[in-house]
Structure 1
Amino acid sequence: MSAPLKDLRVIDLSTVLAGPNCARYFADFGADVIKIEKPGVGDSLRGMAWRDPRDGTGLWWKLVNRNKRNIALDLKLDTDRELFLKLIDDANVLVENFRPGTLERLGIGPEVLLKRNASLVITRVSGFGQTGPYKDRPGFASIAESMSGLAAISGEPDGPPMLPPIALTDEVTGVVAAFATMVALHSKVGQVVDVNLLETMFQIMGPLISLFMLTGEQQPRLGSQLPYTVPRGVYQCSDNKWVGVSASSDTVAARVVEVLGCAGDQRFTTFASRVENREALNDMMIKFCAQRDSQTVLQIFTDAQAAIGPVLSMAEISSDPHFAARQAIKIVGTTPMQGLLASLSGTPGELRWEGRTLDADGAEIRKNLWGSDIRKNGQ
Structure 2
Amino acid sequence: MSNLHARDYQPDRQGTLDGIRVLDLSRLFAGNVLTQLLGDFGAEVIKIEPPEGDTLRGWKTEGIETHWKIYARNKKSLCLSLRDPRAIEIIRKLVPSAQILVESFRPGVLEKMGLSPDALLALNPSLVVVRISGWGQDGPYAQRPGFGTVIEGVSGFAAINGFADREPVLPPMYLADGVAGLYGASAAMIALREAEMKGRGQVIDLSLLDPLFAILGPQAANYRLTGKVKPRTGSRSTNSAPRNVYRCSDGHYVSLSGSIQKMTERLFRAIGRAELIDDPRFRTNSDRLRHAEELDAIIGAFIGERTQQENVAFFEEAEVTIGPIYDTPQIMADPHVIAREVIADYPDPEMGHIPMHHVVPRFAQTPGSIRTPAPALGQHNRELLAEIGISPAAYDELKLAGVICGG
Are residue 368 (structure 1) and residue 368 (structure 2) matched?
Answer: no
Are residue 24 (structure 1) and residue 17 (structure 2) matched?
Answer: no
**Which of 169, 172, 175 pairs up with 2:182?**
175
Q: Which residue of 1 aligns with 2:101?
A: 94
**Which of 147, 155, 162 pairs up with 1:148?**
155
**Which of 95, 106, 112 pairs up with 2:119?**
112
Q: Which residue of 1 aligns with 2:331?
A: 317
Aligned residues: 374
Q: Which residue of 2 aligns with 1:234?
A: 245
What CA deviation, in whole Å up to 9, does each residue of 1:294-339 have, x standing for no partner?
A: 2221112111221111111111112111111111112233221111
- Residue 78 of structure 1: how far off its partner (Å): 2.2
Equivalent residue of 1:17, what SS?
helix
What CA deviation, in whole Å up to 9, does each residue of 1:131-164 have, x standing for no partner?
A: 1100100011110111011111112111111101
How large is the Cα RMSD of the aligned pairs? 1.6
Are residue 287 (structure 1) and residue 298 (structure 2) matched?
Answer: no
Structure with bigger RCO (C-alpha 8 Å, 6+ apart)? 2
**Which of 347, 366, 369 pairs up with 2:366?**
347
Q: Distance in 2 between the 1:374 and 1:224 partners?
A: 63
> What is the one-letter code of the residue matched to 1:34?
I
Q: Distance in 2 between the 1:209 and 1:223 partners?
A: 20
Q: Distance in 2 between the 1:120 and 1:253 partners?
A: 53
**Which of 268, 292, 307 pairs up with 1:278?**
292
Q: For the Cα contact (< 8 Å) 2:22–2:100, is it kept in 1?
A: yes
Q: For the Cα contact (< 8 Å) 2:133–2:146, is it kept in 1?
A: yes
Please, which moves more after superposition, 63-72 or 347-356? 347-356
> What is the one-letter code of the residue matched to 1:351?
I
Q: Which residue of 1 aligns with 2:16?
A: 4
Unaligned runs of 5+ in 2: 1-12, 349-353, 399-407
Q: Which residue of 2 aligns with 1:222?
A: 233
- Residue 191 of structure 1: how far off its partner (Å): 0.4
> What is the one-letter code of the residue matched to 1:100?
P
Q: For the Cα contact (< 8 Å) 1:151–1:162, is it kept in 2?
A: yes
Q: Distance in 2 between the 1:322 and 1:156 partners?
A: 31
What TM-score, normalized by structure 1, do the two folds share?
0.95
What TM-score, normalized by structure 2, do the two folds share?
0.88
Q: Distance in 1 between the 2:77 and 2:394 partners?
A: 15
Q: Distance in 1 between the 2:322 and 2:394 partners?
A: 59
Runs of 4+ in 1 over 4 A off after TM superposition: 374-377
Are residue 265 (structure 1) and residue 278 (structure 2) matched?
Answer: yes
Q: Distance in 2 between the 1:12 and 1:257 partners?
A: 54
> What is the one-letter code of the residue matched to 2:363?
L
What CA deviation, in whole Å up to 9, does each residue of 1:227-260 have, x standing for no partner?
A: 1211212111112221111222233233223323
> What is the one-letter code of the residue matched to 1:111?
D
Are residue 46 (structure 1) and residue 46 (structure 2) matched?
Answer: no
**Which of 26, 30, 34 pairs up with 1:14?**
26
Are residue 34 (structure 1) and residue 46 (structure 2) matched?
Answer: yes
Q: For the Cα contact (< 8 Å) 2:382–2:395, is it kept in 1?
A: no
Q: Distance in 2 between the 1:152 and 1:292 partners?
A: 34
Are residue 328 (structure 1) and residue 342 (structure 2) matched?
Answer: yes
